[in-house]
């Protein structure tokens, strides 16, 4: 099969013919119809993350090169192992990629995405930038007949992260939710927040074009943060009370400073983006305002099943804006890096 592999960080992906894996036991071989191009692919390709005071190297977290990136995989089952039940050749499936060790208490609870020995597809094992992808267990597949397959790819990562972030953000019955960042994740966050809550949805970004999209997706108010009055504007929209919940899909020093300046008493800040950097926290205001700062990263298998149901009902419509073939995998990553993608890019192997 043809596959694109990261051989070493910051070098072009190697696109070549490699052996097609053959499934045994619980394995399922999926013929990839579309694979999402995600910022995490970019971090993997760059070899790590900026942590504010240094660089978090992915190889220290257990990544081994070469690896086939791509964790947002949709496709058709092409071959199954002899122990597979409930999945047959020809089924259209979405792959749940956030696999764990399978035996720790967290995995046993079903939160494989939070396992300390992760085996995520497209990160710690080969993923979907290939004609075929070997899924280690049929239990990680979700049948997705009846929805747009290309759009469904991003549900397993950006969609899932947006979904769990919104679930966390609505626990305090917010009147006002601020969504920071109107990229692929932010736009999904707007749609999900609109469908799961009655809150007033505000969306902040630097880019008017993206903010226009956010309005189309259901944002009640949009705020361009290039404007030096943006935090004042947010306070005005919230009747000077501030935002009850903030989901920060950027999570960079300037956006977190904005979050802290407009968070309401007993407010809840959910940090999602992996932009990186560091901020000084005004420590006294955390107890005095009784605010919560928490992170959200992907979600578990059941969250993804719930999200696919929302997509089947038409409540969320993932936007695919750019298409690439496998030979253009490097261009896809470059375009994402250079912020040329609004919405979501997919590779069609
Ligand atoms: Zn992703
Ligand atoms: Zn585990």
Q: Count other C-beta atoms under 10 Å from residue 135's C-beta.
A: 29
Neighbours of 10 (CB within 10 A): 8
Is 0.85 topped by the overall pTM?
Answer: yes
Å from CA of 38 to ligand 1 middle: 4
How far is ligand 2, taken at its centre, from the CA of residue 10, in Å?
30
pLDDT at 9: 94
The model's pLDDT over 73-109, given as tens digits with 9 standing for 90+, comes to: 999 999 999 999 999 999 999 999 999 999 999 999 9
Predicted confidence at residue 274, as pLDDT, reads 81
Q: Which ligand is nearest to the CA of 108?
A: 2
Give the ligand at the shortest distance from the Cα of 127: 1
- Ligand that lies nearest to the alpha carbon of residue 184, given by its number in the listed order: 1
User: Residue 316 — very low, low, confident or very high, per pLDDT cuts 50/70/90?
Assistant: confident
Residue 185 has pLDDT above 90, yes or no: no
Q: Is cis: bond before 280, omega within 30 of 0? A: no
CA of 172 to the centre of ligand 1 (A): 27
Q: Using the mean position of ligand 2's atoms as its centre, give its distance from the Cα of residue 161 in Å.
A: 19
- Say how many Å lie between the CA of residue 57 and the centre of ligand 2: 21
Q: Where are any strands of DSSP class E within 144-298? A: 176-180, 200-205, 221-224, 243-248, 263-271, 292-295
- At 29, the pLDDT band (50, 70, 90 cuts) reads very high
Ranges assigned E (strand) in the chain? 2-5, 14-17, 28-37, 48-50, 55-57, 73-80, 92-95, 132-135, 141-143, 176-180, 200-205, 221-224, 243-248, 263-271, 292-295, 320-325, 344-348
CA of 84 to the centre of ligand 1 (A): 27
For residue 256, the CA-to-ligand 1 centroid distance in Å is: 22
Question: For residue 300, which ligand has an atom nearest its CA?
Answer: 2
Residues 98-137: pLDDT tens digits?
999 999 999 999 999 999 999 999 999 999 999 999 999 9
Compute, in angstroms, the gap from residue 110 CA to the centroid of ligand 2.
Answer: 9
Strand partners, 55: 50
Compute the mean pLDDT over every residue in the chain, rounded to the nearest whole number: 94
What's the rounded Cα separation, in Å, for the pair 101 and 228? 47
Q: Other CB atoms closer than 10 Å to residue 301's CB: what's the count? A: 19
């Amino acid at each position: 099969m043809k596959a694109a592999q990261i051989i070493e960080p910051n070098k072009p992906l190697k696109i070549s013919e490699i052996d097609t894996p053959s499934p045994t036991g619980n394995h399922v071989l999926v013929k990839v119809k579309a694979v999402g191009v995600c910022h995490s692919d970019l971090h993997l390709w760059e070899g790590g993350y900026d942590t504010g005071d240094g660089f978090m190297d992915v190889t220290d977290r257990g990544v081994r090169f070469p690896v086939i990136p791509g964790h947002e995989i949709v496709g058709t089952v092409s071959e199954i192992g002899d122990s597979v039940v409930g999945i047959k050749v020809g089924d259209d499936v979405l792959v749940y990629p956030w696999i764990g060790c399978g035996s720790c208490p967290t995995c046993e609870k079903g939160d494989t995405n939070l396992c300390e020995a992760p085996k995520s597809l497209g990160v710690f094992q080969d993923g979907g930038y290939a004609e075929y992808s070997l899924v280690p267990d049929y239990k990680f597949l979700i049948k997705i007949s009846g929805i747009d397959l290309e759009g469904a790819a991003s549900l397993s990562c950006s969609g899932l992260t947006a979904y769990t972030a919104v679930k966390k953000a609505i626990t305090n019955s917010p009147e006002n939710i601020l969504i920071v960042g109107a990229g692929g994740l932010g736009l999904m966050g707007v749609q999900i927040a609109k469908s799961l809550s009655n809150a007033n949805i505000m969306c902040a970004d630097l880019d008017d074009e993206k903010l226009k999209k956010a309005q189309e997706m259901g944002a009640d108010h949009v705020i361009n943060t290039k404007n030096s009055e943006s935090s004042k504007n947010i306070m005005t929209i919230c009747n000077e009370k501030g935002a009850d919940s903030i989901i920060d899909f950027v999570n960079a020093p300037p956006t977190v400073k904005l979050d802290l300046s407009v968070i309401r008493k007993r407010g809840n800040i959910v940090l999602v983006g992996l932009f990186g950097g560091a901020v000084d926290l005004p420590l006294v205001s955390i107890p005095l305002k009784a605010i919560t700062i928490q992170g959200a990263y992907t979600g578990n298998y059941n969250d993804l099943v719930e999200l696919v149901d929302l997509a089947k009902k038409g409540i969320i419509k993932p936007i695919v804006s750019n298409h690439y073939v496998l030979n253009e995998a490097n261009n896809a990553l470059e375009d994402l890096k250079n912020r040329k993608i609004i919405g979501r890019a997919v590779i069609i192997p």
